Structure 1
Amino acid sequence: MPDIHPTAFVAEGARLADDVVVGAFCAIGPHVEIGAGSVLRSHVAVDGRTTIGEGAQIFPFASIGHQPQDLKYRGEPSRLVIGRNALIRENVTINPGTEGGAMVTEIGDDCALLAGAHVAHDCRIGNNVILVNNVMVAGHVTIGDFAILGGGSAAHQYVRIGAHAFLGGLAGLENDLIPFGMAIGNRAHLAGLNLVGLKRRGFERDGIHALRRAFKELFAEAGVLKARAAEVAAAHPDDELVQEVTAFITAGGDRAICTPRSGEARAA
């Protein structure tokens, strides 16, 4: 049976694995499901149609699965799905989806949401993503695997952030950030590639060099970005990293692509 503190409230209908620990003054709603090995430290509130995978560590005053901050929300039975081994620190807020989106907010495996981070409705976050303290992710944002958002940064609604990208602390991101890209500043601009992240993740030197060449080809020339992306993709048909970046650009989204300031692409 789950280890539930006497001061905690677990509604009838909630499904908790046998070894889940629910600390003091937690509140868990009737449609919540929490996987094996998860620990809710204290004062954690989980509600809505929320599923949390095994191995979650959730710290005090996190608010998970409550009604989204969307004034068009009308009580539709939307969901929140959080993967395995989530680290959710103090005062984190995560909202479920809405009828205006996919009806679900999804967070992948092995993600870390540090103190004060917010994930709004209808977001899709990949695996191994880190949201540092006080990150603000607006509705309908997509974040790829291994991306890192620095402390106090913000992502505009409908923005796409590619895999292995890095958004600097206090940056305000209004446009899509390419895979492996690094954006800084307010408003954020593309400042090069996330070379530190690429090296830490064990990408080979040749692949990184090819990516740097492609970056300069994409952003150092005049013309239409999507047309350049097609040319770069054709020039590097066997390079998976380059193909991932060019596919991200040509796929497009609701926002423009975050680009370098004048002259910075040549120095990347």
Structure 2
Amino acid sequence: MISPLAHVSSDAKIGKNVKIDPFTMIHEDVVIGDDTWIGPNVTIFPGARIGKKCKIFPGAVIAGIPQDLKFQGEDSTVVIGDNTTIRECVTISRGTVDKQTTVVGSNCLLMAYVHVAHDCVIGSNVIIANSVQIAGHVSIDDWAIVGGSSAIHQFVKIGMHAMISGGSLVRKDVPPFTKAAREPLSYAGVNSLGLRRRGFTSETISHIQEVYRYLFLNSMNNSRALEEIEVNLPATKERDEILNFIRSSERGVMKGYIN
């Protein structure tokens, strides 16, 4: 299953039924899980930890040295979960002393020419469309979708089930369950279609919409809106996820609705 035209280090740990195509180079200190396919002309550097049933397409570079001038050659990794697809020419840098690792979860799709910089943490079931550029230390939670050609500023956080419009400049945090669009990036409603597809009830979606009416549509600052939400809306898992996200934001969240 390993092409004689591929170079695989004897120190790499290759699982069962792994297929490695010609002209791919796999360095030492690499782990590849069972039933994974590595296409031609892929480069996997030391520190890569790749799960089971992944697909890595031609030209991808995994666990390259971070593009960070502070990097001093410290040991670090890239960890990729099971059943994740990495399309053509995707680059994923390994971590620095900050987190020691860059993480991409399970069941993700990273489309062609995506760049994931050092110390990013991407959850599971995330879709990142073509040519998205993700700077260092970014966090993207489960089930988020990032539209093509978007650029995400370092240290930004994107909440679960959020959807970001293609071509966006993401300079602020994007709260969970929302749609984000326009320039500057701002609230464009709740991602109700995506939530329905994932089994959220109409009642739950309406509750999420009511939370965001306080935050983005009632002309209150965030502190006042959070207080009003806690007083007036019943506690649910979704409400508390939103409140915790807003309170923990370090860069600040995106703007409310802009006409």
Q: The TM-score by the shorter chain falls in which range?
A: over 0.9
1:221 to partner: Cα distance? 2.6
Q: Report the CA distance between 1:80 and its aligned residue.
A: 0.8
Corresponding position: 1:214 with 2:237: no
Q: Distance in 1 between matches of 2:231 and 2:22?
A: 58
Do 1:102 and 1:122's aligned partners in 2 also have CA atoms closer than 8 Å?
Answer: yes
Separation in 1 of the partners of 2:22 and 2:56? 13
Calculate the aligned-residue CA RMSD, in Å: 1.2
Whether contact under 8 Å (1:27, 1:45) holds in the other structure is yes
The answer to whether the 8 Å contact 2:216/2:257 transfers is: no
1:130 is the counterpart of 2:127: yes
The answer on 1:252 being equivalent to 2:254 is no
CA displacement at 1:252 relative to structure 2: 2.1
SS state at 1:43 partner: coil
Q: Identify the match of residue 117 of structure 1 among 103, 108, 114.
A: 114
Structure 2: unaligned runs, 5 residues or longer? none
Amino acid at match of 1:174: R
Per the TM alignment, residue 15 of structure 1 is displaced from its structure 2 partner at its CA by 0.3
The residue aligned with 2:178 is 181
Residue 23 of structure 2 contacts residue 40 of structure 2 at CA under 8 Å; is this kept in 1? yes
1:14 corresponds, among 9, 12, 15, to: 12
What is the aligned-residue identity percentage? 38
TM-score, scaled relative to structure 2: 0.96
CA distance in 1, matches of 2:53, 2:113: 21
Of residues 59, 64, 83, the one that matches 1:85 is 83
- Return the letter of the residue paired with 2:239: V
Conservation of the 8 A alpha-carbon contact between 2:214 and 2:220? no
Counterpart contact for 2:131–2:149, Cα < 8 Å: yes
The amino acid that maps onto 1:72 is K
Secondary structure (helix, strand or coil) at the match of 1:42 reads coil
What's the CA shift for 1:117?
Answer: 0.7
**C-alpha deviation, 1:18, in angstroms:** 2.4
Provide structure 1 residue ranges, at least 5 long, that are not aligned to the other structure: none
Query: Deviating runs (4+, > 4 A) in structure 1?
Result: none
- 1:50 counterpart letter in structure 2: A
